[in-house]
Amino acid sequence: MEVQKEAQRIMTLSVWKMYHSRMQRGGLRLHRSLQLSLVMRSARELYLSAKVEVHEPEVSLQPARFLDPRLHSRREAEAEAEAAPLDGEQPSPEPMDTQEAPRAQEAPARGGPCPAKVSRKRRSSNLSDGGDVGLVPSKKARLEEEAASLEIPDRLQPSPAQAEGAFPNLARVLQRRFSGLLNCNPAAPPTAPPACEAKPACRPADSMLNVLVRAVVAF
Amino acid sequence: HMFRDRTVTSSVSWCCFPLGVLSDIISTVEFNHSGELLATGDKGGRVVIFQQEQENKIQSHSRGEYNVYSTFQSHEPEFDYLKSLEIEEKINKIRWLPQKNAAQFLLSTNDKTIKLWKISERDKRPEGYNLKEEDGRYRDPTTVTTLRVPVFRPMDLMVEASPRRIFANAHTYHINSISINSDYETYLSADDLRINLWHLEITDRSFNIVDIKPANMEELTEVITAAEFHPNSCNTFVYSSSKGTIRLCDMRASALCDRHSKLFEEPEDPSNRSFFSEIISSISDVKFSHSGRYMMTRDYLSVKIWDLNMENRPVETYQVHEYLRSKLCSLYENDCIFDKFECCWNGSDSVVMTGSYNNFFRMFDRNTKRDITLEASRENNKPRTVLKPRKVCASGKRKKDEISVDSLDFNKKILHTAWHPKENIIAVATTNNLYIFQDKVN
């Protein structure tokens, strides 16, 4: 349990560090982003393995649905990541599949369930966990679970001012998807980071962890 | 042999010559080849050069103090309109060229642009023009009745810095290293994913010699963290990675040196494996020894000396602050785990030095295997007093004069240090103070 909590805390911390690093003067630092994503991946692996040890396999899916990149549509993940390169360091977007990006814009607004469409794209081997393939439930079952169990604690509701910030969707998705994590984290940063970069509309992503991890390396 | 053969860690007493506060955070420190000049770069894009006073033969205990010689703005903040990104003016590295004539030349770089600066002295000026007054105003030609030959008269020394070359637009990622080749005609610049080779005379072209960018950026697993040319072989260079490996490349082998000639990597100690193992193994600095036989790498917790003839493990490993290994989580929280410490050799390659926290810096004597911890701080160091060795108490009962790990100040870090190429003189940069320490000559 302790291990889980610690892993959760580190994951949340890493997400915020990644987020903050985008605001830095001089642009996103590739090395720093890579290091953060490595820590995040280790934390996730630790979290998943701790969960497996402690709980039944079905229950262990709860965090997995937040974290496993393959459980959710990759379209939105990539669409989000595609937005990232615009403030990254590449002169042109990295080979993300742009043809699916427009479809992602029709993705449901906040509060809606994640799209049921399964991505036809090749899974990223960089981020996948070979070990938890057996833990993945069918997509349908998980969506129902998700809709039923989504809860956002009051204290984590974005204030109106926050929600109108430069990254309204990102902030909302962070809080929604990480409600479990943020619940357990006493050190969760209370406010959204200041907006100082114009950014095209963020597309809500199903797996924020996956998105952010890939966003920072895929630019 | 110009270098005194004394063990630095025991019989040398270091004393401090304060240089005063620089107004911005120091980001790089470098002695020139003779050691007479010391350049510092800061976060504001400025370069400050200090010059050693000529040795006072009468007062032999005072071996030339360093005074400000020249200050100039090397880089300005820029804006990349295409990517909507600000380009920081912070000077990442300075490298001196060997002196060929009266002027001095150095390369300074920020994240994107390298500049060649010429620093020259002017100590005389022409006087006695026929058509101009001394203040520069033109004389009425009708008042000129005699002709004279202008002569040079001495004037107060003026040191001028002028940019001679600007090497721009060759790096997509942030430049972390520059290194001048032993041919003194070419140099390399390295960013996170690529290394380029330049000719000092040519600014509109550079050759890419290393490219580790994967076709799919999602598969990125390591970046280049530092690169350096071999001090003697003009075809050889090394680059270090965020995974703790060093690759030695030979430019004669192929135009693009993606395939290394040698790969230096130490297998990880499984007992040390932790959550943050991967990121603390990232190498923050790599430096060849003056002899060219060894190279030194700095990762977060240690300094390693590698023999170029042995790839599978370092020949020496020195723990800089092993007591931090149990604190990695806190250091991750406060971002200290990402600090990039540099390291340096002394002139005879017998001692290596690197920085730590609490304004401590460490020296390791390779011959005696002894080490020493010293502190750079104004409260503790009055000028010309000898530095007292410090000790960190890792656990258990703290002895008198020891400092416990928990009371270390992690905001006071020494990332940049430099050692005079010939003497026991060191330059140590705290956040925005520069200290010069010299061994006390009795």
**Mean pLDDT, residues B347-366 taken together:** 97
Query: What pLDDT does residue B272 have?
Result: 82
Chain B, nearest residue to A96 by Cα: B216
Task: Specify the pLDDT at position B167.
Answer: 98
* Cβ distance of A43 and B174 shorter than 8 Å: no
Are A30 and B87 an interchain contact pair (Cβ–Cβ within 8 Å)?
no
How does the average pLDDT of chain B come out, rounded? 91
**pLDDT tens digits for range A8-58:** 999 999 999 999 988 888 888 999 999 999 999 999 988 898 887 776 554
Look up residue A99 and give its DSSP letter: G
pLDDT at A165: 37
> How would you classify residue B45: left for phi > 0, otherwise alpha for psi between -120 and 50, otherwise beta?
left
Cβ of A58 under 8 Å from any chain B Cβ?
Answer: no
Residue B20 is predicted with a pLDDT of 59
Residue B35: what pLDDT? 96
DSSP secondary structure letters along B264-327: E-PPP-GGG--TTHHHHT---EEEE-TTSSEEEEE-SSEEEEEETT--SS-SEEEES-GGGGGG
Query: How far is the C-alpha of B285 from the C-alpha of B181, rounded, in Å?
Result: 18
Ordered DSSP codes for A50-75: HHHHHS-TTTTHHHHHHH-GGGS-HH
Please write the tens of the pLDDT for every residue from B358-411: 999 999 999 999 999 999 987 766 777 788 899 998 877 778 888 999 999 999
Probe site for chain B from A21, A44, A89, A92 (most B CB atoms < 10 A): A89
Residue A26: what pLDDT? 85
**Global pTM value:** 0.74
Q: Could you say which of B84, B218, B242 has the minimum Cβ distance to residue A87? A: B84
The long-range contacts involving A49-57, CB below 8 angstroms and separated by at least 24 positions, are A49/A131, A50/A1, A50/A3, A50/A4, A50/A7, A51/A4, A52/A132, A52/A135, A54/A1, A54/A4, A57/A134, A57/A135
Quote the Cα angle for A175-A179-A182, to 5°: 90
H/E run at residue B79: strand B78-80
Contact A218 B218 (CB under 8 A): yes
